[in-house]
Each structure stands twice: as C-alpha cells, then as structure tokens.
Chains A and B, each alone.
Chain A
Amino acid sequence: MAELVPPTTTPGSAGISQILSLGPAGKATRPSSLTLDWQLVTSSGTAVVLEYDPSTSMPFRVYITGLSDWAERIRNHADIRHLIGMVSGGGAYMHVVVDPEWPSNPDDSIFHTSRSELERELKRLEQLPRGWNGYGSKQIEPAAMGRARRLLLALADLSLPRPQVVPVANGGIQLEWRSANKELEIQIFPDGHAIYTAADRGEISDGELSPWDGTRVRALADWLTT
C-alpha cells in the first residue's frame, strides 16, 4: 500500500476535531487517540472528506463544504458510517475528517424543512453593504458565515425552533432562539469564534462555543427545549 501524502494544512482554520482512518476495503478503524496530522480545512473552515486512490496515494476527490454542497452530500450519504461503508466497499483508502458540529441526521430536522429559507437569509446577510445599520457597520465576514452555516447544520437534527439570523455590525452574525421563558443567543464573530448567552427569566449564563466541542451545542439545544 502506498503511503498517504498529507494534504496542505491551512494554519488558523478551525473545525477539525477527529480523524477516522480507514484501511483497505471493509476495514474501517477508528484510532484510539486523536490525530491532527491530516488536517485539511477549506476557506469556509468546515469539514472535509478526502478519498485517496491507493495506487497513486493522491487524493482523487475532495468534498468541500459550503452549505448547499455540504447539505447535498449529507443527504446523499445519510451519515459518516454510510459514507465510510460506501467508500471502503469500493476499495478506496481514505481519511474522513469529522467535524463535531456535523449533524448525524439532518433529514429529520426542522432545519431540513426550512433550510432553503435559512440559506436565503444567510445569502441576504452576505449581500448587505457596508453601513447597513446606518452607523458604519461592516460587511459580514466569510468566516462568520461559514461558522453560522456549520452551527445551523449542527443543530439540524435537534428539535429546535427556527432561529432568527441577524447581522452584527462588526461583520459577525447572531443566531437567536426564543421561547416563552428562555432566550438563547449565539454571537459569531468575524473570525468565526462564537459565544453564547442563555437567559432563563432573570438567570443568565454565557461562555465560549468552541468548534471542537459539539456537546456544548447540543447541551444548549437541550436546555432550550426543556
């Protein structure tokens, strides 16, 4: 078996947490410890799947994300296990880079039914000119847009109401959910980092939302819906 060649790593990008290694056909293995030698991150900072041609050890297909393309692939492949099965069954050798914010089953979600509407909203934000708020606001940054899309996908298989998606003057994006008593705001900054504020009547908590920590996103979703 030819040796795999690490793809180019983009420093400073986010979104990679775990690598699943696949051996030859049908021998999928999950390494016991995390390895970050095989990072490849797109400009949108989202998950990437590489398939390698074992005869040349060169990647012959790269799945780059972007919401519509990403969603399409998830819809086609259902989940990572299905994807692994498909590729390993074909005899290819591949590495799968898994983002913790990758939803396991977006087709069951509210997001699935309103995805095009959310995407329209994101596109609308993307097209806002400088000064859209009348006070020198900036255009929305691509890194913020990418993180917003990933977060929305991460929440896709949870029973959440549709969020309100609003621009932030610094070039970021804010996602907001409200129920009768609770409010959840996730502010995504221009560089893609995110914080949350969760308010239950007078009680407020907040914190960072690391792209490596998918469990926090799910905990917030649970909190909002209980």
Chain B
Amino acid sequence: MPWTDDLTIGSNDEIWRRIAPSHVIRLPSGDYRPSSAAFRDSERAVSVHLAVLTTEADALDGYPEHSLAGLRVGAPRNLGYVINRDPTPIDPSHAVLLVPTEWSDGQEQRASRQLAIGCWWIRLRVPR
C-alpha cells in the first residue's frame, strides 16, 4: 500500500534531524554542511522531529556531540518524500520522511544531497 502524505503537517512546518559528528563536513569555503549520508537511514525512511512538538534541548538529549539541522517540510515534499507522524512514548515529535519505493539508489542519493544542501543549522557542534 502506498504511503499517504500527512497533510496535517504543513509544508512551512519545520523539521529537525540530528546530525552525527561524522556527518558534519567541512566545505572548501570553510563552512560546515551535513553529508548527504546524514539524510539516509538504514531503512528507506528518514527519522525527523517536528520542531513545534519538541525543543532543541530535547532533540539533542543524550547526544552531546551531535548537531541539529533544520528543514521546511516543503523541501523533502518537493523532492518526492512523504512525511508521516510516528510518535514514540519518549518522543512525541518523531516523524518519518518516507522514500518512494520506486526510487533507485541513485535517486535517493541525489535527494538526500538536496536535503543536505538545503538545510540549516539549528545547532552546530564542530567535530574535534
């Protein structure tokens, strides 16, 4: 059954994604950006947090070295991802960006790169 986009989540709503230290990349300009690998998970669904339902401190709780990146929901939506709420007992803000089943590996790689380019830092922790 195809996934249905949750339209109760607005395209202007903000979502956050924790970024592991190994995914914080230094660009030739000296700026930092997440690797595209930061926007791919082990299954074809990318965990995110609905910003309106959490705080920066809660999103990073237990991850003292991770950074936090932000996106508008419209960005992944325009690329073809579907967003679904997926609250857990400890994280009511949890949601998932679902990768279309018909996408090739290359398409997912391209899309994850677009997310990495289009996001901004909510909290950047430069890796040591």
Residues of A in contact with B (beta carbons under 8 Å apart): 125, 128, 132-138, 164, 166-171, 174, 176, 178-180, 183, 185, 187, 189, 195, 197, 199, 204, 206-207
Contact = CB atoms under 8 A, between A and B. Distances in A.
A185 B36 contact: yes
Contacts of B27: 178
Contact of A169 (B41, B62, B105): B41
Nearest to B107: A206
A59 B56 CA distance: 61
B41 A176 contact: no
Given A134-B20, A164-B25, A185 B42 contact: no
Contact of B23 (A138, A166, A207): A166
Given A133-B20, A134-B18, 15 more contacts: A128-B22, A134-B20, A134-B63, A135-B18, A135-B41, A136-B41, A164-B35, A166-B25, A166-B35, A170-B42, A174-B35, A179-B28, A185-B109, A197-B109, A207-B106
Nearest to B25: A164
Contacts of A195: 105-106, 109
B123 interface: no
Interface string B57-86: 000001100100000000000000000000
Interface of B: 18, 20, 22-23, 25, 27-28, 35-38, 40-42, 47, 62-63, 66, 105-106, 109-110, 113
A125 B35 CA distance: 15
A146 B62 CA distance: 32
8 tightest CB-CB pairs across the interface, nearest first?
A206-B106, A133-B20, A135-B47, A174-B37, A169-B42, A170-B42, A169-B41, A168-B37
Contacts of B63: 134
B94 to A, nearest CB: 10
Contacts of A174: 35-37
Contacts of B28: 178-180
Nearest to A167: B22
Given A166-B37, A169-B41, A178-B28, A133 B109 contact: no
A197 B22 contact: no
B18 A136 contact: no
B11 to A, nearest CB: 23
Contacts of B42: 135-138, 169-171
A136 B23 CA distance: 15
A178 B37 CA distance: 15
A169 B37 contact: yes
